[in-house]
Chain A
Amino acid sequence: MYTTEFIDIPLRDLLTRVQTLKHEGIRFVQMCAETTEAGIDLLYTFYDETCDNAINLCVYGIDETSEVPSIQGLYFAAFSYENETHDLYGVHFVNMELDFGGNFFNVATDAPMTVITPEQKAERDKLAKQKAAAAAKARKAAEAKQAAEADAAAGEKAEAAAAGKSAGSVADKADPAAAAKPAASDADAEAERAKKMEEKLANMDPEKAAKVRAALAAKAKKASAKEGE
């Protein structure tokens, strides 16, 4: 079985690389294009018979202004692919030996292969949304983990402080500032939590943030009512 390799190269190196392959006696297989959001990608395939290896040179991001050097001078068989790519994708090749001037394929519209179908677009949008949701979920999970760790640390601190309080209640009575310390640390943790929540809400979708705020307010109200009872 043959092996396959894909090599990314910049457009300026294309001709040099193809010249090297030609010099090594490697056979030309095909050339094709593909429309992406970043422009048009070109794929040149060669086959090395000595070691049964298919070499693919990938050139990314060709736009309307790019001038792609023709390889017909090295591999004449490329004439049909270059003319096809010109007619179907609108890629501009320079120094073509056999140039049909856009009449190789009699197609009704210019560069028809650059159009992305509605089905493809919908699937791509769906995938992008899924990716964004997954990223947001991962971020949220990381933040929750961080908050849990902070809570645990604050809890440990509070426990340690409570133990200290029971051990030296006389001392506490003598020093009101020391008695106020755990309460102050609780207030600090609460403030820290509120600050983090605000940051999270600021990064959220405004509608969703409003809903979360309303839920939090309701929760706080419920808690205060319980305390009153």
Chain B
Amino acid sequence: MATRSVLPFGPQHPVLPEPVHLDLVVEDERVIEAIPQIGFVHRGLEKLVGKRDFNQFVYVAERTCGICSVGHGWGYVSATEKLLGLEMPRRVEYLRTILEELSRVHSHLLWLGLLADAFGFESLFNHCWRLRETVLDIFQKTCGGRIILSIMIVGGMAHDIEDSVLKEVCEKLDSIKRDYHEIVETMLNDTSVKSRLCGVGYISFEDALELSMVGPFAKGSGVEHDMRTTGYSAYGDLEHFEPIISTECDCYARCKVRCAEVYQAIDIIKELVSKMPHDGIGGKPKAKVVPEGQSHVLIEQPRGEAFYYVRGNGTKYLDRFRLRTPTSQNLGGLVKALQGVDLADVPMIILTIDPCISCTER
């Protein structure tokens, strides 16, 4: 008779760049149940709305995470602008969307590098991160920062990005696309990659819906949910946008979705640059206080839908800022995906979910 035992997985583990703990109930080599635990590096950033006024808080929101910095800054300023009743110039929306899509490219390249590293493909890891460096160079040239951009402010952008610079960005993206194509083809067509990812970590379409999963994790199970289809910000001006989905429902499907999203992001950036309006970049709002009320926005980050909620009370300090990250939402899916899998597959399943603990531990 097989014996059951509880195997602790993390918070320190070679495959985990950030601390998350899983109690794996295993029977022989098979995982019967997984219980996740977070909170090892909880920073209480949401609480800082009580110490930083609504203009200053942009810098805190951006520092929630290094990978999703653009998205967090954007989500926060959008929610606050909604509460203040501000309408942004189209150029601001275009620039923000371009930066978010660049962020998607660098986030997916980072993830692909980590996945390659977990397979033992160190050279592939280096190539992925070399390409990611190009995107970080773009950030440095356009915004001044490589990770924390500090270009978004409540009411607009801190400074403009010139059209000539945006054209250079497009040229760089073309070269990234060529190199990326080679890397992706090598990775996705590799036999060992396929044998370790195909049919592993299965989550059915029904389960994905039931567990309210988001992002490439859900899209890999055929769920077409993508906030960009609602046309918020500049996404509504795109000629055609359709979320990338895959119906295989396994780890390989999630990888395919992420890899294809990089191409899609590059196309979006190029289209937006070609349509760039010239109606100003807004500026700091005249309002010194945030009115009483509440608002929220939903945006599509690289890892999926993120939720930003703000509540004002008539003072310069917000009553509440809430950030719900895609990883928090996908924890239920992670628990489900780990049920019944081989112990050796656990690291791969976790990696294909691409958890961002830094955001979750806001």
Contact = CB atoms under 8 A, between A and B. Distances in A.
Interface of A: 1-2, 4, 6, 25, 27-30, 32, 34, 36, 43, 45, 47, 49, 52, 54, 56, 75-77, 79-81, 87, 98, 100, 103-107, 112-113, 116-117, 119-120, 123-124, 126-127
A170 B84 CA distance: 73
Contacts of B296: 4, 45, 54, 56
A225 to B, nearest CB: 49
A212 to B, nearest CB: 31
Nearest to B314: A127
A77 B267 CA distance: 33
Nearest to B213: A77
A27 B322 contact: no
Contacts of A4: 295-296
B212 A75 contact: yes
Given A32-B324, A119-B51, A1 B232 contact: yes
Chief secondary structure at chain A's binding surface: mixed
Contact of B313 (A28, A29, A87, A127): A127
Given A28-B212, A32-B324, A105-B38, A119 B232 contact: no
Interface string B231-260: 110001000000000000000000000000
B309 A43 contact: yes
Nearest to A98: B35
B320 A27 contact: no
A27 B37 contact: no
A112 B44 contact: yes
B50 A27 contact: no
A34 B47 CA distance: 10
Interface string B48-80: 001100000000000000000000000000000
A85 to B, nearest CB: 11
Contacts of B50: 116-117, 119-120
B44 A2 contact: no
A47 B311 CA distance: 19
Contacts of B47: 112-113, 117
Contacts of B316: 123
Nearest to A26: B212
Contacts of B236: 1
A32 B321 CA distance: 10
B264 interface: no
18 contacts: A2-B298, A27-B209, A30-B329, A32-B324, A34-B322, A52-B230, A54-B296, A77-B329, A77-B332, A77-B333, A80-B332, A81-B328, A103-B37, A107-B39, A107-B44, A113-B47, A117-B50, A123-B317
B9 to A, nearest CB: 16
Given A117-B51, A119-B50, A127-B313, A80 B328 contact: yes
A4 B51 CA distance: 28
A127 B324 CA distance: 29
A71 B341 CA distance: 27
B40 interface: yes
Contact of B307 (A30, A104, A105): A30
A9 to B, nearest CB: 15
Given A30-B307, A105-B39, A120-B50, 8 more contacts: A6-B294, A27-B209, A45-B307, A80-B38, A100-B37, A107-B44, A117-B50, A119-B51
B65 to A, nearest CB: 17
Given A43-B309, A77-B211, A113-B47, A119 B317 contact: yes
Nearest to A43: B309
Nearest to B218: A27
